[in-house]
């Protein structure tokens, strides 16, 4: 890639290709610079360093995940929306396991908008259960934890028994939906 075509977005695109092909541990400034055909110091015109690049990658991944979940829940409510949300989350992780593995999980100011967008989609889906404020936040945390935990284990080959993973994930979704229908308090 010629130097003139570099931008923060182009550097992020290259970083995602490195991650997709070689895994999250391979994401280095040197690897990205090599793919871009520039010296590593040239990247500093577009990113402040590896931490900044990881934030840009995480922001892109969160936005892609938000796009997928938003499309999945469009026009749905309650149980159907939660099922669609969790299914879309799993689909993204299975389609892009290395990208998801590169996602910075801790709250990061640079990913706040993208993370907030994803949270907003989930919170909107929870309104059908009458959940607002802190009850909705607690439920969103539980749903995120369930989807994240299962999909990370699945994408890393953590389930070795012969039972079908689709059946296990459907059970997880039913368990989560059942929990959302329980009175809180």
Report yes or no on 52 lying in a domain.
Answer: no
Neighbours of 16 (CB within 10 A): 21
CA geometry: angle 89, 95, 97, nearest 5 deg? 85
Asked if residue 78 and residue 137 are part of one domain, the reply reads yes
pLDDT digits (tens, 9 = 90+) for 49-86: 999 999 999 999 999 999 999 999 999 999 999 999 99
Supply the pLDDT for residue 54.
96
Give the count of domains, the chain: 2
Asked if residue 94 and residue 152 are part of one domain, the reply reads yes
pLDDT digits (tens, 9 = 90+) for 12-49: 999 999 999 999 999 999 999 999 999 999 999 999 99
Q: How confident is the model at residue 184 (pLDDT cuts 50, 70, 90)?
A: low
Report yes or no on 53 lying in a domain.
Answer: no
Asked if residue 62 and residue 30 are part of one domain, the reply reads no
Selection from 55, 151, 41, 139 nearest residue 102 by Cα: 55
Asked if residue 67 and residue 36 are part of one domain, the reply reads no
pLDDT digits (tens, 9 = 90+) for 122-167: 999 999 999 989 999 999 999 999 999 999 999 999 999 999 999 9
The three-state (H, E, C) secondary structure of the chain, written as one string: CCHHHCCHHHHHHHHHHHHHHHCHHHCCHHHHHHHHCCCHHHHCCCCCCHHHHHHHHHHHHHHHHHHHHHHHHCCCCHHHHHHHHHHHHHHHHHHCHHHHHHCCCCCCHHHHHHHHHHHHHHHHHHHHHCCCHHHHHHHHHHHHHHHHHHHHHHHCCCCCCCCCHHHHHHHHHHHHHHHHHCCCC
Q: Residue 161 has which token pair?
A: 């028994």
Report yes or no on 67 lying in a domain.
Answer: yes
Residue 133 backbone zone (phi > 0: left; psi -120 to 50: alpha; other: beta): left
What domain range includes position 36? Answer: 1-47
Cα gap 79→45, rounded to integer Å: 47
Q: Give the largest CA-CA distance in the chain.
A: 60
Report yes or no on 153 lying in a domain.
Answer: yes
């Amino acid at each position: 890639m010629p130097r003139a075509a570099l931008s923060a977005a182009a550097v992020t695109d290259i970083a995602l290709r490195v991650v997709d092909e070689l895994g999250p541990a391979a994401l280095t400034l040197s690897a990205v610079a090599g793919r871009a055909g520039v010296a590593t110091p040239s990247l500093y015109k577009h990113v402040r360093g590896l931490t900044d690049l990881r934030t840009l990658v995480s922001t892109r991944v969160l936005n892609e995940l938000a796009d997928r979940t938003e499309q999945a829940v469009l026009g749905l409510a309650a149980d159907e929306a939660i099922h669609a949300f969790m299914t879309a989350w799993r689909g993204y992780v299975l389609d892009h396991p290395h990208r998801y593995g590169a996602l910075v999980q801790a709250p990061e100011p640079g990913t706040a908008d993208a993370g907030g967008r994803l949270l907003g989609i989930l919170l909107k889906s929870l309104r059908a259960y009458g959940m607002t404020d802190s009850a909705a936040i607690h439920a969103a945390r539980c749903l995120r934890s369930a989807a994240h935990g299962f999909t990370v284990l699945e994408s890393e080959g953590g389930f070795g028994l012969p039972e079908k993973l689709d059946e296990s994930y459907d059970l997880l979704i039913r368990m989560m939906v059942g929990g959302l229908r329980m009175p809180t308090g």
